[in-house]
Amino acid sequence: MRAVVDIGSNSLLLLVGRRGEDGAVEVVEDRSTVTRLSRGVDVHKTLSTASVEKSLRVLEGYRERIDALGATLVAVAATEGVRMAEDANGFLKRVEAVMGSPVRVLSGEEEAELSFRSVSMEQPSTALHVIDVGGASTEIAWGQGGKVHARHSLPIGSVRLTERFLASDPPTSPQIALVRAAATEHFAGLRLPSSGELIGLAGTVTTAAALLLGLERYDREAVDGTTFSLDQILGLASELATETVALREQRSCLTSGRADVIVAGLYILAAAMEALGATTLRCRDRGHRFALL
């Protein structure tokens, strides 16, 4: 039994699992805790003390859980929230002391490829377009036969665009237009072949799926593999954009750590679908932590 810790820009994730007889990952435990590590980093280029301390407390709990399960920690990975912070070294040293393992800071391209592999390991012969909408960056990759043909990491994410453009609560129409324009601009330059289906990973996608399914509580088995149209994603984004953060937080499956950034995340997702000509989004409850495991 093995464990992977993913230090994301908005959430810290712990995956504990084993390899099944078919080669797929059998999940023993999969946790996600919002710590907003990338809070303010886009502007200040430094990690906030509050986010660092909260993250370290969560990691201490993850270390204890790994030990209690008798699992072997095989990887601790960090992403864009750490990549763009000029003072990340001090934080990484403290993480290493807590986890007892060095931290692997993934490049954007590595992150994109690992996200692709987390899906292709189960669909090795299929042509796949995979997107991971994170807090500080968004990764998108295309490939077939388990091989990546193109991979990109874009400096847009749900937290990053919320902090840049969505100053009002609820956001104004001009603010929403700025988010959509920024997302559209970043996807416009990519040379990915068109696809009717985009496979989406990470919190924005899984939360959207839970909301569209009307779940009372999050259920990975109910969410994983579900499909939704571009119109459904845009409709949900438009609906949530009219609500205050406090009102969104009253919805089942939309936590306080996700409610304030979900609108920007959904418009990033919609922009990717529009750029690819994708009419269908397939939600997968996985990510690069599965490939690392």
CATH 3.30.420.150: which residues of the chain?
108-292
In sequence order, the 6+-apart residues with CB closer than 8 A to the CB of 22 are: none
Closest to 198 measured CA to CA, from 278, 141, 264, 275: 278
CATH 3.30.420.40: which residues of the chain?
2-105
Q: Tabulate helix, strand, coil % of the chain (nearest 5).
A: 45, 25, 30
pTM over 0.85: yes
**Helix orientation angle between 203-213 and 262-276, rounded to the nearest 10 degrees:** 100
Quick check: 7 and 82 in contact, CB under 8 A? yes
Quick check: 134 and 115 in contact, CB under 8 A? no
- pLDDT, one tens digit per residue, over 68-110 is 999 999 999 999 999 999 999 999 999 999 999 999 999 999 9
Q: How far apart are CA 143 and CA 200, in angstroms?
A: 15
Cis amide bond preceding 102, omega within 30: no
Domain at 2-105, CATH from 3.30.420.40, 3.40.640.10, 3.40.50.10800, 3.40.50.150: 3.30.420.40
- Report the CATH number of the 108-292 domain: 3.30.420.150
Task: Phi first, then psi: give them for residue 29, nearest 5 degrees.
Answer: -155, 140
Q: What is the pLDDT of residue 121?
A: 83
Going residue by residue through the chain, which has 293 residues, state the pLDDT in tens, using 9 for 90 and above.
999 999 998 999 999 999 878 777 889 999 999 999 988 888 889 999 999 999 999 999 999 999 999 999 999 999 999 999 999 999 999 999 999 999 999 999 999 999 999 998 887 778 899 999 999 999 999 998 889 999 999 999 999 999 999 999 999 999 999 999 999 999 998 887 888 999 999 999 999 999 999 999 999 999 999 999 999 999 999 999 999 999 999 998 888 789 999 999 999 999 999 999 999 999 999 999 999 99
